Amino acid sequence: MRLWMDVMRDLESVMDDHERILDAWGEGGVDGVVFGPLVFGTSKLSKDAKSAPTGDVVAEAYDPNPAVYERLGVEPPKAPEHKLPEKRALLEKTMIAAKDRGMQVYCMYADGGGGPGGDGHHLHDERTLASRLARMVDTLEHFPMADGAVMDGPEWGYEMAPHHMNHRSYFFNDLPESVAPMAKDLGYDYQAMVAARDRLLDLFHNLDPVRIRAHARGGLVGAHRMLGADSDLMAWLSFRVDSLTRYFRRIREGLAAELDRPIRLGCGPRSAAFAPLCGYDFVELAQFMDFLLPKHYFFHRGFDGFVGTVYRYSQTLIEWNPGLTVADTLEIVQSLFGIVLPGVEEMPDFELALTPEFFEQVVAQETRRAIAAVDDPERIVPWLDTGRFPHDGDPMSSRDLKMLLDAAEEAGLRRFNYHHQGNLSAGEWVVISDKCGKRWDPRTSDWEPVDDLVL
């Protein structure tokens, strides 16, 4: 197994000592580096996550090229006030040094900091899409040593808890009026989908335990009956996939048309079980995306965590339906997503969900489902986040990481993308380097993981 290292924040911490860091990473099995956002001076917090930012100047790593935006008929973003030429040169030197070591180099959030788009929905508006595409082209032209780009979103929501992340992912908010033109263009009845959404929300507030227990394990047909046998609901779920697939395809085609060199492009869906609700169809995306980075985030609480999301589904359904048991809610989760959490029967069990059986069953299943969509397992590069504070979630130990990697490797995984280097702990690096390269020995190495909290 091999890995990419994600330099997600605090580019300077890698740039300033890149020769030593890249050598150590390479020895431990890193054969790719993902840089981004391409911004200097991003806020860095201490381990208690409450201290003030460092006060460094925050500035993009390059000036926009107006010709790119003019070519695509959109307004360029403003050039950063602070040029920081020494940092810019050092970033490029770091990227070249990674290439010189045989590592792949990718730009994360290559579309970040683009100019203004249009007024329509971001998945449909032509000007918004052109603005995003222009920024990606501009980024990849400015960094010719980059092999490609990694996209994290856009996506539809996946959370049922209305309070979670300030509604960032609450899927019942996913049909604003701005969606109507896109629905019409794709052949969907917008008002019918809105009505189906409202019926589903009402059903989720008035669930019948008898109907759940009768239909929950009845496969597709049983789940269809459990959810009200609502054909317009199925249309809404299909619309989510069709709209997002079209969006990513248009980005891919636009990059191919505008760039004078081939690049590799990947996107980061949620884990395979949740991906279709977010609009990601792995099979469809694999037809034109070079690689997929499903989120192998299995922690509790926080955001994007697998156990945390199932917990919030169960918690919310019980809040809406006090007569339900945890077992009832987990039957619904299993019907919707095919997820079974071994050993979880009551709320306290979620705190103990990361058992050996969880990794052997759930992690292996999520890995196999992703790999099944591609012709080469190298095209599946899951984001992996464990450690002390993964995505604001509960800690996952080095033992958890070992079980995760073992289960995923047994299921066919060949590489992953560690998120991210600023949070890498010594224990994690021992496990990773032992799995992917030469096991790190702190007694003889002249480098050690940062083990900081860089959000």
CATH code for the domain in which residue 243 is found: 3.20.20.80
Residue 166 belongs to some domain of the structure: no
37, 137, 252 from 64: Cα distances, Å: 15, 10, 21
Return the residue matching tokens 């008035």: 206
How far is 393 from 453, CA to CA, in rounded Å? 13
Q: What local confidence, expressed as pLDDT, does residue 163 receive?
A: 80
Residues paired with residue 292 on neighbouring β-strands, in sequence order: 267, 380
Number of domains in the chain: 1
Residue 162 belongs to some domain of the structure: no
Residue 185 belongs to some domain of the structure: no
Q: What local confidence, expressed as pLDDT, does residue 454 receive?
A: 65
Residue 165 belongs to some domain of the structure: no
What are 32's two structure tokens? 């790719």
Residue 172 belongs to some domain of the structure: no
Q: What local confidence, expressed as pLDDT, does residue 55 receive?
A: 54
Q: What is the DSSP letter of 57?
A: P
Helix, strand and coil percent figures for the chain, each rounded to 5: 50, 10, 40
Residue 187 belongs to some domain of the structure: no
Residue 105 belongs to some domain of the structure: yes
Does residue 14 sit in helix, strand or coil?
Answer: helix
Among the residues of 172-230, which ranges form H helices?
Answer: 180-185, 190-204, 209-215, 219-226
Q: What local confidence, expressed as pLDDT, does residue 42 receive?
A: 80
Residue 190 belongs to some domain of the structure: no
Q: Which residues of the chain have pLDDT under 70?
A: 43-55, 165-168, 454-455
Domain span at residue 374 reads 2-157+237-306+350-436
How far is 312 from 300, CA to CA, in rounded Å? 10
Instruction: Name the helix (H) or strand (E) containing 75.
Output: none
Q: What local confidence, expressed as pLDDT, does residue 27 receive?
A: 98
pTM: 0.95
- Beta carbons of 405 and 414 less than 8 angstroms apart: no
Q: What is the DSSP letter of 393?
A: B
Q: What local confidence, expressed as pLDDT, does residue 8 receive?
A: 86
Q: What local confidence, expressed as pLDDT, does residue 157 receive?
A: 95
